């Protein structure tokens, strides 16, 4: 039997059998893993909290035949404060859903894990506008998954900037003021800069930029359209987030 340990966060939970859970775990070293947690839905199970959505744990796995089984798990963080806000909780659920359905199963998960953990930390602290966090998460997740938009310059004339540029979320390209026909979302230059920042910034600076509230709306629209276009998926968790979203509670000024 093949045993190994890994730090990872639970990004999907499914029930099977009487008390078993199948969990999808995003780990740094092993990418995305699916594992059985036997008895985890039992009221007295030690694995109950550790195999819940958002639980970040040191997992101990054993490979048995074709399946991976959770032997033990030590909880490091459960992001409890997400439960203080329905919006934060719904957005966190969307982040996990998007991660579970986008991140390739083979390969390292280190960058993906950092992105998700940091996004959840900021959501818990409620210190950043959710539209900004969502745009960062969607756009950077797309880039890490191999879908980098071509936003360095105008796709037609290679102009680096014009006062307004147009982003085509289906192609992931920019057009300058002179070249744009009718395609795409009109972006003030500050939104173009924010998108370039999200795509190209080193991770430790990824979350540190600011944009006025009305522009965050435009940034969010671009990131969401692009993410949905490249993944070609529909996310019920995104629809749910939209349904609970109220702009009044955004702490931005």
Enumerate binding residues for Zn ion (CB under 5 A).
154, 156-157, 159, 176, 179
Between residues 68 and 155, which has the closer beta carbon with respect to Zn ion?
155
Between residues 124 and 174, which has the closer beta carbon with respect to Zn ion?
174
Between residues 100 and 179, which has the closer beta carbon with respect to Zn ion?
179
Question: Which residue, among 75, 68, 29, 67, has the nearest Cα to 48 in the 3D structure?
Answer: 75
The full 3-state SS of 172-197, as one line of letters, equals: CEEECCCCCCCCCEEEEHHHHHHHHH
Question: Taking a C-beta distance cutoff of 8 angstroms, is the pair 216, 131 a contact?
Answer: yes
Provide CB contacts within 8 A for 8, sequence distance 6+.
Answer: 25, 26, 27, 28, 30, 33, 56, 57, 59, 109, 113
Q: How far is the CB of 154 from Zn ion (least distance, A)?
A: 3
Q: How far is the CB of 115 from Zn ion (least distance, A)?
A: 32
C-alpha distances out from residue 81 to 46, 51, 121, 123, 137, Å: 22, 18, 9, 8, 19
Beta strands in 28-96, from DSSP E residues, in sequence order: 31-37, 56-64, 67-77
Q: How far is the CB of 174 from Zn ion (least distance, A)?
A: 8
Q: How far is the CB of 177 from Zn ion (least distance, A)?
A: 8
Between residues 75 and 158, which has the closer beta carbon with respect to Zn ion?
158
Q: How far is the CB of 187 from Zn ion (least distance, A)?
A: 14
Paired sense of beta strands 67-77 and 150-154, if any: unpaired
Q: How far apart are CA 220 and CA 38, in angstroms?
A: 40
Strand partners, 73: 59
Between residues 55 and 180, which has the closer beta carbon with respect to Zn ion?
180
Q: How far is the CB of 4 from Zn ion (least distance, A)?
A: 52
């Amino acid at each position: 039997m093949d045993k190994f340990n890994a730090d990872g966060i639970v990004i999907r939970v499914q029930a099977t059998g009487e008390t078993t859970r199948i969990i999808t775990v995003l780990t740094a070293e092993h990418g995305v893993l699916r594992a059985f947690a036997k008895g985890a839905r039992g009221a007295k199970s030690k694995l109950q909290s550790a195999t819940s959505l958002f639980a970040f744990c040191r997992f101990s796995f054993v490979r048995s035949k074709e399946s991976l089984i959770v032997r033990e798990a030590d909880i490091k963080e459960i992001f409890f404060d997400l439960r203080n806000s329905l919006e934060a909780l719904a957005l966190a659920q969307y982040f996990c859903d998007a991660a579970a359905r986008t991140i390739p199963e083979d390969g390292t998960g280190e960058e993906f894990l950092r992105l998700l953990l940091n996004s959840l930390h900021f959501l818990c602290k409620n210190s950043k506008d959710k539209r900004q966090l969502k745009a960062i998460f969607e756009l950077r997740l797309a880039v890490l998954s191999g879908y980098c938009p071509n936003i360095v310059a105008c796709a037609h004339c290679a102009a680096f900037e014009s006062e307004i540029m147009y982003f085509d979320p289906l192609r992931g390209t920019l057009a300058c003021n002179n070249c744009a026909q009718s395609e795409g979302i009109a972006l003030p230059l500050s939104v173009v800069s924010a998108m370039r920042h999200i795509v190209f910034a080193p991770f430790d600076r990824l979350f540190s930029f600011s944009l006025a509230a009305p522009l965050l709306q435009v940034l969010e629209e671009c990131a969401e359209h692009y993410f949905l276009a490249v993944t070609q998926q529909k996310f019920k968790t995104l629809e749910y987030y939209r349904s609970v979203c109220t702009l009044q509670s955004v702490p931005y000024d």
